[in-house]
Structure 1
Amino acid sequence: MKKLIYALLALFIQQFPISAQQRDVRTTTTKIADLLALQPSETTARFRDAMAQMERFTAADISALLKQLSPPGEGDNAGIEYAANSYSYHVLLPGKATQRATYIQGAIEALNAISNKDNKGFVIQLLQNAGDDSAVDALSPYLTDEYLSEKAARALSRIGTERAGAALLQVLGGSTGVAAVNITDALGFMAYAPAEQEILIKANTTDTILRRISLYALSQIGGAASQSILADAAKSARYVYDPTEATAAYINYLHKRIANGEAVPAGKAALKLFKETDEDSQVHTHIAALGLLTELNKEKQVNVLLKASRDGNPVYRNAALGLLSPYLNGTVSTKLVKRLSKVDEQIQVDILRYVANHKQTEALPEVQKALSASTPSVRIAAVNALHQLDAEAADEALIVLLSGSDEQTRQAVKQALLTSKNKQLAQLLTNALTNERNADVQILLIDVLGQRGAGESMQTLLDIIGSDASNEVKSAAFSALPQVARPGDLNKLLDLFVNANNEYKGAIQAAAVSAVALSDDREAQTQLVISRLRAADATRRLFFFPILSGIGGKEALQIVNEYTADGNPELRAAATSALANWTGGEALPQLIELSRKKVTDSEQLDAVINGLIRLVSIADIPADQKVLYLRDAFEAAETVDQKKSVLRALEASKTYNALMFAGKLLDDEQLKSTAANTVMNIALDNKNFYGADVTRLLNRVIELLSGSESSYLREAIQKHLNELPKGPGYVSLFNGKDLEGWKGLVADPIKRTAMDAKTLAEAQIKADEIMRGGWSAQNGELQFNGHGDNIAT
């Protein structure tokens, strides 16, 4: 036994230091300083740390923290407010009852000690968040304080206990002005029934605000004693909006009585309200009354709702339809659409739309009848309804409807067909197109087939193209070809390249490209196009180049490139255009080579320049390489517009060389504006570009800027210049003028190391002479004539 006692004693002694270590022995000042060092808590970890620290605060610590609040404008309260407000919610978590009690006690102590009313208001808000009955006595004195009554009343209403309600009621009788409004509002929020009689007294006032709040509070309480005053107030307002919002309060009151289980008196009042609100100006109240009766009577109200669904007022009618939704079934929907054609046009439209949205298939017979209605709006509504209710079966009926319909109805049918999920629709449309003779309907069907990508319609479209159909119908058929083309159609598409179809060659070419793109064997399809090209005469060969351009690939590129040197100028031009419009970046070398040749045709040159710019932009090559290619394009360019296009393209490269190249053109009268934009956009995007040259160019840009945004841009450039590092920045090895700084290369490093100074100097003189014979500076570029050795710095 002694051993057991000693063991327990030893265990207790071991535990005691641990408990002592867990007690927070910091001073209040230190606790607060440590807490505020974590504010604002920008991470979850810091927030949790802050909350854990506050859990170790005593009530005195909480009070001391809140008493450090400065009057607004005299200090920074952000840290205190953030921590205290966050903790007011933290103590509401499960298992935090002790911390909550401590927090409330500390907040009450601070509330009594703080003198500034704004800071008192903040503490009251904290008690609103975390408070319970223990805070009621501390909050009650502020109910009659004009500045703080709203916060105090709201805090008590959120506490929401019997004690809080009693405290509010105790002060209500003697309150006036703002305090009376705030206390009444709080009691209404709580729906505190014992306050009904006192609020009834407050409601009999000429003060509009107090009367509005009192009527609302009575509606929230829902007591029988309030029926008369609320009903009379709504009637006096003629059941429409007024500043006291009496009608809204009365409707809310009746809902409250229904919720309280008082269906009989609420039903009588709702029926009376319904009967007394039949004017157009009262429609919203009439709807509310209908809603109350439906809430009470449920299925028994259906006949009234059906009658209302045909009312001439669209707002009331659609509200009634909305109330009818929970009670829809086959019988109800059949009644809803019965003799639908006898009612006004807009009513038919609303009901058709309603049964469609609610999937009431029992209404289908009447919907089908409405397809033959005399007015377009009803027919359109019927088309949409049929499509929604019976999508697959509807398609055939809608297609049949097309021939005899007006344009509006046809467009509605078209939209339905475009969104149909019927897997058989393409065949239905194709069959209809085969038999259709109305040109407008043919065009519509072709458009739908095209937009749906109906490959099975290709033969029908080809038949139309080869028929005596009108030009409009044929044009529609050609336009649809790229959308419906499939790999197996390629030969047939290429057969269309005859002079008679020259007007539609673009559509045929696009269709052929689509057919190859969809193929699992692009190489074989490409070879088919190439073989057809070679077999064609010179005139028909022209048709094939855009196809090869759109297909892309090495085989196509090789063939097209061969024709850029063809003796036939038309074929040469067509091949050049094909390279310029090539779909992939693989044509870039050929296009660059072409740009270096003299292209005499201005349109061809324009195509080459634009094609080069486009392919450079999409090419997967270093930015500096892109700049070199664009400089080639600039050299090839002849017109101002072409040169401007190249300058604009340089912006994307964002390199120092691009900056310097554009900078050379800042004094060119025709190009300086475009060059200025390029220089500015490259320089402002990279602070690593600095130094005398960059500064000089940007200052020149400032001089050139004009237009509505010029002042803003000048400021941006000047700011950029001011922020650039000081120093020489980037210095080019080549100064663009001469060979200063460059030398001929003497032997190799091993041999140079073995030379004495005299021998090296003599060898250098000889190497420099050779270097100057092979290298030169021309037009700002370092040029090599192909003779001589390497050059070195």
Structure 2
Amino acid sequence: MNQFRNIICLLFLAVLIINPAIAQDNRTFETRIADLLVQMPVDDAEHRDRLMEEMLTLEKEGMTDICDRITPPGDGDDTRARFAVGSLSKYLSQSDHESDQQLWEGVLLDALEKAQNKDVKAFFIRNLEFAGTDKSLERLAVYIDNADLVAPVIKTILLIDKKVAAEIFSEKLPDASEDVAGMLIKGLGNSGDKAYVPQIVEYAEDANGEGQLVAWEALSKLPHPDAEKYLMKAARSDDYNGPAAIALLDYAKVVAEEYPSEALSIAEKVQKKTGDLQVSIQAMLVQSALLIEPARTAFLVNQMESSNTEYRGAIIQEAIRVKSPASQWVDYLKESDYPGKQAEVLYLLGKLGDNEVKSAIPQYLNSNNSDVRNEAAMTYALLAKGQAVEPLLDYLESQSGVADQKAGLEALLVAASRDELSLMTQRFSSLPAEAQVAVLKCFAARGDARAFDTVYKAADSEEGQVRHEALKTLKEVSEEQNLRALLKLFNRITKKEVINSVGEAIVAAVESAPDKVAAVQLVYQAASSDDESEKYLSVFSGIGGRESVDAVWQDYSKNSSQTSLEALINWNDHYATTVLHHVITGDFPLSHKSKVFYGYVNMVDDANLPDDQKLLLLRKVMAEAQDDDQKAAVLEAAGDLDTFLAFVFARKFLDEENLADYAANAMANIAMPAPGKDTGLSGDLIEEGLREAKEKITGQDAQYLKIDIDNYLKEMPEGTGYVSLFNGKDLSGWQGFVANPIKKAQLSESELENLQEKANEEMHETWSVQDGKIVFNGKGANLCTVEEYGDFEMIVDWRITKDGDSGIYLRGTPQVQVWDTSRVEVGAQVGSGGLYNNQKHESDPLVVADNPVGDWNTFRIKMVGEKVTVYLNGQLVVDNVVMENYWDRSMPIFPEGPVELQAHGTNLAFRDIYVKEIDSSAHNLTEEEQEKGFVALFNGSDLSGWQGNKTDYLVEKGQIVVKPQGGGHGNLFTEEEYDNFIYRFEFKLTPGANNGLGIRAPLVGDAAYVGMELQILDNTAPVYANLKPYQYHGSVYGVIPAKRGYLKPVGEWNSQEVIVDGTHVKVILNDQVILDGDIEKASENGTLDGKDHPGLDRMSGHIGFLGHGSVVYFRNIRIKKL
């Protein structure tokens, strides 16, 4: 039995861990209300329903409290309370909560009586629409005499009980004011109670204007002889042309259910007597609704005799709505000789979609009236589908007018499927030119390659509109199998317009080829055999690719032709950048160079390349810029990139007078998050650069951008970020290579000092700084950082020469590989970036991402623990792979070590070397804090070291953000337990936010009682207006109250320090001591909240953030054990 009991206890404990909400709720009544309201409004229906169930647990007192929070418009923000009241009213009306609904009804009625403001009263009246019963009627009726409330009161009373409502309205009517009387009359009409018709008639007799209209509307809803008699009289007095006639027709609709013949008689009479179009249309619609087929269609057909186009249009729409049988309309179509009516009926038949009547349509394709022909074309297409194609071709052949050709094309597009294509191609040659143009447009819209032969022949025909349209269509129907024919045609033509069109078709054919290389080869062969091969240049430009570039480049190199230049500038991918750079740097016309420069920049800007690679291409061309305009173009393109090095690059131009504004704008665009992104760049260098950029920004919108920069700087995550390892001038921070880490560790201090001195002397013989780059001359040893690094991210640009071989040592260990990929004999074809010396784990890069030898490359390297990730020129080449210890494979990689630039016998260069340390134990710690023994509890990247609710607690922008889903109340605790400590953190509240800092807490139960909770609360929010002193921010919940008034405004960051030492607790908020007390003494005579707090006796436990369904932000969390 004991074993069974233990199992049950363990299971219950597990449930509590999984769902802490099941644990006892020890919050005060006021806090429960506030925590509920702070989660509103909410969009998620499931979350809302849970909140309503929670609201029901507050019972009458809590519900009344929430109702008391409703305020007049403009007197405060009661959005949360209004949402709560409205949601509960609707929730209870849709659920089986009879006792709860009765309770809520009483609360609403009491709140209604208590409210002094008319808008607040109206709010509660509207909620009684859902929650009210007969018990509410008497208490609601007293407000009927109030002109401001009569409308919602009448509506609510009607929704509760129409019969009783009518009695109330009737009783109130004699003594009502004019405005209220009108509302009561309307209410009597909506009650549906015929007994009050005489009273309404009596009112109508004495009323005029608006009152009379209201009475007519009310009578129209009540089927009673007196109502009919009075409405008939009123309509007759206006010759059945006004509102009374409309009311009479509405009355006919009401009586139709019980007395259809009487209703039909009324509608017929009104239509016969009226001279008003709208009344006539309404009468027609009433009759249509009352008749059944086939009588209804017979009636509608008969009404088509009207000469009024608008009236006939209403008939057509009604016939469509009721899906009138098409056969009767066909009979009418055959009998009618009026073109306007024929067109209308043809339109109707198309909409009805009855293909059984399709045979009646073709004859109208030959009508003398174009409107009839045009409607017939589309209707036949809709009904006959593919069978309509041949008659439509006949139609196009016989009718040459613009409207007919347009109608015929639109009809063909509806009718013709792939099955009818052969018929269209067979008939094509026999069609007149206008019809051929329409069919060609149909071919283009379908994009079916089976039409190629027909289109090709037309494109190769004599000049004219058909050839012009065929040339436009050719690219839409061309595929790989058509390439030889297209090239044959291309070789014969000379006219520019034709060259462009056929060239586009060739490009389309190549693009469709499964083997694009083979297709391109065919184009090369054709070009080489054409005496006018220059015309192929635009084709190569459209095809794009590296191979095609060579052909066009050879042509340009020979004669510097404008045509080949334009082809290169308009290349459809980035492969032309290399040859465009040759033009810029080579011996070519100056007029070409300028045009090519801007073309190069635009090509890079538009290219589908990683930002790292784009920056390398832009830096390459910036070196060739001839004036400030060209430099500005490069800076603008760099401003579209999202990399740290792009920011560094742009910053170099801040001091150039004519470029400072361009550079500053580029830096702002690079650093700050783009629309749709959450994070931008951060760190000391970014902050420093943005402050410099801000002072250089000019122009019309400068003030707005400066404000954006200021706001971004305020929100920028703290942290050093990237620091430079190379100052661009000398080798400060670097030293010569002595030995591998294992041997180096075995040296005595004096031995190391002597060897290091010698290595530094040798370093300057082989490594030097030239033009802002670290250069290796091909002889000597590695270059090492003086500093050693553990976990870090690194950025470095590198460039090798022919047969080059180098690498980056991490923590003094080889290596992230760098080599000339042409060295197949040593396996270099796999590309650079791999972990070359790995044997057990992957050593080769995922892809080859190297730039050509002699061009710069960018590494982004991340090392955390023993795992390495490498990006080369923006492409992932190593994905979180373990780096093995080359020096001793029996042991893991060293925890720390220098970064080394490998010397391997060839010339090479490095530039822009930056490193960002990742130190979880010292994340955002000041030097003073590190000296005092503080450690970081949050690394700014993930929730390592924490446990619990990792669903609602997220890491964003270096912060822990609580985003509760569905009002979750889960907690996030440290994995480690603490007894005495100093705990520092920063937090930012949202309006009405509620959280808590749990200390010495177990993982199960309400931490405020089984441990201790220090309140984290926006106690300035109206929802927390009635808190107890021990509930305000910083208080030891229920035990020791904190001082108030030291929280920063909502949305700003607060800093807090908590010192816990034995039974002594001290809280410092924004440099102000708000609590300093002893929990043992404070609870000697019982706690302030009168509840048991067993957690006060705990001397150790977890620290955690205690969620109460609110959004809160935390950062810079650190602790020191005492």
Provide TM-score, normalisation by structure 1: 0.82
User: Who is 1:369 aligned against?
Assistant: 363
User: Who is 1:143 aligned against?
Assistant: 144
Kept in 2: contact 1:482–1:514 (CA 8 A): yes
User: Who is 1:273 aligned against?
Assistant: 270
Kept in 2: contact 1:743–1:767 (CA 8 A): no
Is 1:432 aligned to 2:427, yes or no? Answer: yes
User: Who is 2:479 aligned against?
Assistant: 486
Q: Secondary structure at the match of 2:773?
A: strand
CA shift for structure 1 position 589: 8.1
Letter in 2 for 1:679: M
- 1:597/1:370 Cα in 2 relative to 1: closer, same or farther (>3 Å)? same
Q: Distance in 2 between matches of 1:640 and 1:418?
A: 54
User: Who is 2:1021 aligned against?
Assistant: none
Letter in 2 for 1:633: V
Kept in 1: contact 2:738–2:756 (CA 8 A): no
Residues 549-608 of structure 1 deviation map (CA, whole Å, 9 limit, x = unaligned): 55566xxx35753774679614998877766655556x3785587467425144477457
Residues 710-751 of structure 1 deviation map (CA, whole Å, 9 limit, x = unaligned): 443343344445655789865544445x22625563444457
User: Which structure has the highest helix share of the two?
Assistant: 1
- 1:380/1:143 Cα in 2 relative to 1: closer, same or farther (>3 Å)? same
User: Who is 2:349 aligned against?
Assistant: 355
Residues 262-293 of structure 1 deviation map (CA, whole Å, 9 limit, x = unaligned): 23433332222111213xxx111111111222
Q: Distance in 2 between matches of 1:237 and 1:266?
A: 20
- Residue 757 of structure 1, aligned match among 748, 753, 756: 753
CA shift for structure 1 position 77: 4.6
User: Who is 2:764 aligned against?
Assistant: 768
Letter in 2 for 1:634: M
Q: Distance in 2 between matches of 1:217 and 1:599?
A: 93
Q: Distance in 1 between matches of 2:69 and 2:667?
A: 56
- Residue 745 of structure 1, aligned match among 736, 755, 773: 736
User: Who is 2:967 aligned against?
Assistant: none
- Residue 460 of structure 1, aligned match among 446, 449, 454: 454
The correspondence of residues 681-696 of structure 1 with structure 2, limited to 5 A, is: 681-685=669-673, 688-689=681-682, 691=684, 695=688
- My pick for the range that moved more, 631-640 or 61-70, is 61-70
- 1:473/1:120 Cα in 2 relative to 1: closer, same or farther (>3 Å)? closer
CA shift for structure 1 position 448: 2.8
Q: Distance in 2 between matches of 1:198 and 1:301?
A: 37
User: Who is 1:518 aligned against?
Assistant: 512
Residues 237-274 of structure 1 deviation map (CA, whole Å, 9 limit, x = unaligned): 55455xxx534322211211213x12343333222211
Residues 622-675 of structure 1 deviation map (CA, whole Å, 9 limit, x = unaligned): x33321221112224457665444333212322233233334445656655544
Q: Distance in 2 between matches of 1:446 and 1:70?
A: 69
Q: Distance in 2 between matches of 1:479 and 1:32?
A: 75
Letter in 1 for 2:708: A
- Residue 469 of structure 2, aligned match among 452, 462, 476: 476
- Residue 332 of structure 1, aligned match among 303, 316, 328: 328
Q: Distance in 2 between matches of 1:678 and 1:413?
A: 55
User: Who is 2:97 aligned against?
Assistant: 96
- 1:449/1:265 Cα in 2 relative to 1: closer, same or farther (>3 Å)? closer
Q: Distance in 2 between matches of 1:61 and 1:462?
A: 82
Q: Distance in 2 between matches of 1:532 and 1:747?
A: 63
User: Who is 1:225 aligned against?
Assistant: 226
Letter in 1 for 2:123: F
Is 1:397 aligned to 2:391, yes or no? Answer: yes
User: Who is 1:287 aligned against?
Assistant: 281
CA shift for structure 1 position 367: 3.6
- Residue 258 of structure 1, aligned match among 233, 256, 259: 256
Is 1:192 aligned to 2:193, yes or no? Answer: yes
The correspondence of residues 438-453 of structure 1 with structure 2, limited to 5 A, is: 438-453=432-447
- 1:82/1:449 Cα in 2 relative to 1: closer, same or farther (>3 Å)? closer
CA shift for structure 1 position 337: 0.7
Q: Distance in 1 between matches of 2:394 and 2:487?
A: 34
Kept in 2: contact 1:644–1:671 (CA 8 A): yes
CA shift for structure 1 position 696: 5.9
Is 1:311 aligned to 2:306, yes or no? Answer: yes
User: Who is 2:491 aligned against?
Assistant: 498
User: Who is 1:153 aligned against?
Assistant: 154
Q: Secondary structure at the match of 1:204?
A: helix
User: Who is 2:1098 aligned against?
Assistant: none
Letter in 2 for 1:225: D
CA shift for structure 1 position 86: 2.5
- 1:599/1:702 Cα in 2 relative to 1: closer, same or farther (>3 Å)? farther
- 1:256/1:608 Cα in 2 relative to 1: closer, same or farther (>3 Å)? same
Q: Distance in 2 between matches of 1:679 and 1:550?
A: 34
- 1:262/1:689 Cα in 2 relative to 1: closer, same or farther (>3 Å)? same
Q: Distance in 1 between matches of 2:303 and 2:470?
A: 50
The correspondence of residues 7-156 of structure 1 with structure 2, limited to 5 A, is: 34-39=32-37, 40-41=39-40, 42=42, 47-53=48-54, 55=56, 66=67, 77-93=78-94, 95-112=96-113, 116-156=117-157
Kept in 2: contact 1:38–1:46 (CA 8 A): no
Q: Secondary structure at the match of 1:653?
A: coil
Kept in 2: contact 1:744–1:791 (CA 8 A): yes
Letter in 1 for 2:249: I
User: Which structure has the highest strand share of the two?
Assistant: 2
Q: Secondary structure at the match of 1:784?
A: strand
- Higher relative contact order structure (alpha carbons within 8 Å, sequence separation ≥ 6): 2
User: Who is 2:1033 aligned against?
Assistant: none
Kept in 2: contact 1:370–1:379 (CA 8 A): yes
- 1:486/1:58 Cα in 2 relative to 1: closer, same or farther (>3 Å)? closer
Unaligned 5+ segments in structure 2 are 1-23, 674-678, 786-1122
- Residue 716 of structure 1, aligned match among 708, 712, 725: 708
User: Who is 1:614 aligned against?
Assistant: 603
CA shift for structure 1 position 365: 5.9
User: Who is 1:19 aligned against?
Assistant: none
Q: Distance in 2 between matches of 1:68 and 1:697?
A: 46
Q: Distance in 1 between matches of 2:639 and 2:654?
A: 15
- 1:729/1:544 Cα in 2 relative to 1: closer, same or farther (>3 Å)? same
Kept in 2: contact 1:60–1:106 (CA 8 A): no
Kept in 1: contact 2:682–2:717 (CA 8 A): no
Alignment RMSD = 3.9
Is 1:629 aligned to 2:621, yes or no? Answer: no
- My pick for the range that moved more, 222-231 or 716-725, is 716-725
Q: Secondary structure at the match of 2:681?
A: coil
Q: Distance in 2 between matches of 1:47 and 1:240?
A: 52
Kept in 1: contact 2:491–2:526 (CA 8 A): no
CA shift for structure 1 position 619: 4.4
Letter in 2 for 1:332: Q
Q: Distance in 2 between matches of 1:372 and 1:563?
A: 56
Q: Secondary structure at the match of 1:678?
A: helix
Q: Distance in 1 between matches of 2:480 and 2:28?
A: 80
- 1:224/1:189 Cα in 2 relative to 1: closer, same or farther (>3 Å)? same
CA shift for structure 1 position 30: 6.3
Q: Percent identity?
A: 22
Kept in 2: contact 1:191–1:220 (CA 8 A): yes
Q: Distance in 2 between matches of 1:595 and 1:701?
A: 37
Q: Secondary structure at the match of 1:95?
A: coil
Kept in 2: contact 1:371–1:383 (CA 8 A): yes
Q: Distance in 2 between matches of 1:50 and 1:723?
A: 33
- 1:759/1:641 Cα in 2 relative to 1: closer, same or farther (>3 Å)? closer
Q: Distance in 2 between matches of 1:247 and 1:224?
A: 16
CA shift for structure 1 position 354: 1.4
- 1:548/1:470 Cα in 2 relative to 1: closer, same or farther (>3 Å)? closer
Provide TM-score, normalisation by structure 2: 0.60
Q: Distance in 2 between matches of 1:733 and 1:60?
A: 67
CA shift for structure 1 position 320: 1.7
Residues 514-567 of structure 1 deviation map (CA, whole Å, 9 limit, x = unaligned): 223333444443443444455x26x444455554555566xxx35753774679
Is 1:173 aligned to 2:168, yes or no? Answer: no
